[in-house]
């Protein structure tokens, strides 16, 4: 992507002139989009019935792009996305928009534009989280026609075979970087910035996790200590018939380990169920997000390891206490 400096992940950048595209396409290594195709995108906020939404107006990219940025939900994206570029006033709307505004695919949505109120036909639904209220997909030709706005938020480029990203980036920086005050962002860098933004947003959950683990550690420690106290005579009898201190210690640690494993299994089952409810119902009700739930398989091992680690730490003190009990005192314990 080629854009001006700013926060590209939220499209908070200075818009550019569309004439820059001609200079970009002259740079070796930049793939030509084809006749009546382009590389420009325009992303702007839009108010619909008092709700702040987002408009994404995109050129008809080259066929090599395969409409990858269209997460179409009601069919094959390669069949539905081209309807946006038929020349008719068509739109793709996010599921959030359709649900909140009580619209369906095939109906008409009236959008206020500088050219007046225009009736757009809803030709498909897409998944996009740029706005919790909804996102509107348009062809940039229709956007320019009705909104009278030829500016560009970013140019989306593909690299031709035989050239590398670094080569093309360096040439773009040399030819137009300073001239138009633009920078280049690779898909990998864009995804990394998005991931970092998400991680910062949910960073507070790490503190909640730490508190939950601490509570679990203290609870298990307390349970094991009480268990050792209640079985003092039993432990004394085991020592009297020949059990070593090491065997007593390992017995308590094994109990702690089993509790940690069972606790982790319960946490995985309940956590997955609660997470599914939150993603599929809580977010939809509270924020309007419609997100598909995917069970985090990679977290299962992490949860088991954490549960075992916490259990073993909690079992150290009770195990030492049990192993150090004197036989005579244990047998006399009431």
Query: In this predicted structure, what is the pLDDT of residue 284?
Result: 63
- How far apart are alpha carbons 42 and 151 in whole angstroms? 7
Question: Mind listing the pLDDT tens digit for each residue in 280-298?
Answer: 777 666 655 666 778 888 8
Question: Mind listing the pLDDT tens digit for each residue in 162-174?
Answer: 999 999 999 999 9
Claim: this prediction has a pTM higher than 0.75: no
| DSSP letter assigned to residue 66 | T
Instruction: Name the nearest CA neighbour of 62 among 26, 33, 22.
Output: 33
Two tokens at 143? 């956007």
Query: In this predicted structure, what is the pLDDT of residue 334?
Result: 58
| Cα-trace Rg, the chain | 30
- How far apart are alpha carbons 135 and 55 in whole angstroms? 6
What stretches in the chain show pLDDT beneath 70? 283-291, 332-334
- Helices and strands (H and E) in the chain: how many: 13, 11
Burial of 144 (0-12, 13-18, 19+ CB in 10 A): middle
| DSSP letter assigned to residue 43 | E
- How far apart are alpha carbons 275 and 282 in whole angstroms? 9
């Amino acid at each position: 992507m080629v854009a001006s400096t700013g926060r590209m992940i939220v499209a908070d950048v200075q818009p550019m002139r569309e004439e820059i595209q001609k200079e970009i396409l002259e740079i070796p290594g930049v793939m030509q989009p084809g006749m009546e195709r382009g590389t420009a995108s325009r992303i702007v906020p839009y108010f619909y019935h008092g709700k702040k939404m987002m408009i994404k107006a995109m050129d008809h990219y080259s066929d090599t792009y395969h409409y990858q940025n269209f997460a179409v939900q009601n069919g094959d994206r390669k069949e539905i996305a081209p309807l946006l570029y038929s020349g008719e006033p068509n739109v793709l709307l996010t599921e959030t928009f359709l649900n909140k505004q009580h619209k369906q695919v095939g109906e008409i949505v009236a959008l206020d534009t500088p050219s007046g109120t225009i009736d757009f036909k809803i030709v498909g639904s897409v998944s996009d989280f740029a706005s919790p209220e909804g996102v509107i997909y348009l062809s940039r030709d229709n956007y320019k026609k009705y909104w009278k706005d030829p500016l560009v938020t970013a140019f989306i480029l593909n690299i031709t075979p035989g050239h590398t990203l670094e080569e093309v980036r360096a040439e773009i920086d040399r030819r137009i970087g300073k001239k138009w005050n633009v920078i280049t962002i690779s898909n990998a860098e864009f995804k990394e910035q998005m991931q970092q933004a998400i991680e910062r947003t949910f960073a507070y959950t790490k503190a909640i996790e730490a508190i939950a683990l601490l509570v679990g550690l203290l609870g298990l420690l307390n349970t094991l200590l009480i268990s050792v106290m209640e079985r003092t005579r039993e432990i004394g009898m085991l020592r009297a018939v020949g059990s070593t201190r090491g065997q007593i210690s390992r017995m308590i640690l094994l109990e702690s380990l089993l509790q940690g494993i069972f606790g982790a299994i319960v946490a995985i089952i309940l956590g997955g169920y609660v997470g599914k409810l939150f993603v599929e119902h809580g977010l939809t009700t509270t924020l309007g997000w419609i997100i598909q739930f995917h069970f985090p398989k990679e977290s299962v091992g992490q949860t088991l390891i954490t549960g075992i680690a916490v259990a073993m730490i909690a079992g150290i003190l009770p195990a030492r206490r049990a192993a150090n009990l004197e036989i005579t005192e244990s047998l006399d314990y009431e």
